[in-house]
Amino acid sequence: MPDTILILNGPNLNLLGTREPDVYGAATLADIEASCRAHAAKVGVDVDFRQSNVEGELVTWVQQAQNTAVAIVINAAAYTHTSVALHDALKATGLPVVELHLSNVYKRESFRHKSFISSVADGVMCGFGAHGYVMAIDAAKQFAAARASTT
Ligand code: DQA
């Protein structure tokens, strides 16, 4: 069985394609999921791709990943800037974490410069648009392999 990378998407990312396309691009979340699945198949991993507008649901999925995934890629969307609960859950899993954003949050409003995820992430990626998801799979796979070789 190939290793699974959990890819989590937070609030409003279900609206991709129609939501501020000048900022987030034209791809829908389904398009992004399809490109993640295609890339994952190429590099020999499985992806568990999820989206929720509910903070607690994201927290539960992070907790469950401890038993089902080798790494987490998370675009926590607006919860990035507010959620101590997601910070704590990610820290508790002990899994490698890649924080991801479609847009370059540092080029945007100052409230987007604060992240509760970055300090528990192994790597942070932003500004690469939908392609960032494909890049994040490679990064997560590498972090997981590095972790496995030391345990
Ligand atoms: C986002 C950036 C966040 O600031 C914002 O709240 C989002 C999306 C991104 O992917 O660029 O919803 O995470």
Whether 79 is catalytic is no
pLDDT at residue 87 tops 80: yes
Amino acid symbol at 80? T
- How much is the pLDDT for 1? 76
- How much is the pLDDT for 26? 95
- How much is the pLDDT for 86? 98
pLDDT at residue 151 tops 80: no
Label each residue of the chain as H, E or C. Answer: CCCEEEEEECCCHHHCCCCCHHHHCCCCHHHHHHHHHHHHHHHCCEEEEEECCCHHHHHHHHHHHHHHCCEEEEECHHHHHCCHHHHHHHHHHCCCEEEEECCCHHHCCHHHCCCCCHHHCCEEEECCCCHHHHHHHHHHHHHHHHHHHHC
Question: Helices 84-93 and 55-68 sit at what angle, rounded to 10 degrees?
Answer: 0
Q: Determine whether the shortest distance from the Cβ of 75 to ligand 1 is under 6 A.
A: yes
CA-78 nearest atom, ligand 1 = 6
Percent of the residues in the chain that have a pLDDT greater than 70, as a whole number: 100
Whether 101 is catalytic is yes
Average pLDDT for the chain: 97
pLDDT, mean of residues 18-32? 95
Q: Could you tell me the two tokens for 73?
A: 């890629």
Q: Which residues pair with 14 in a beta bridge?
A: none
All structural domains of the chain, each given as residue ranges with its CATH number in brackets, are 3-149 (3.40.50.9100)
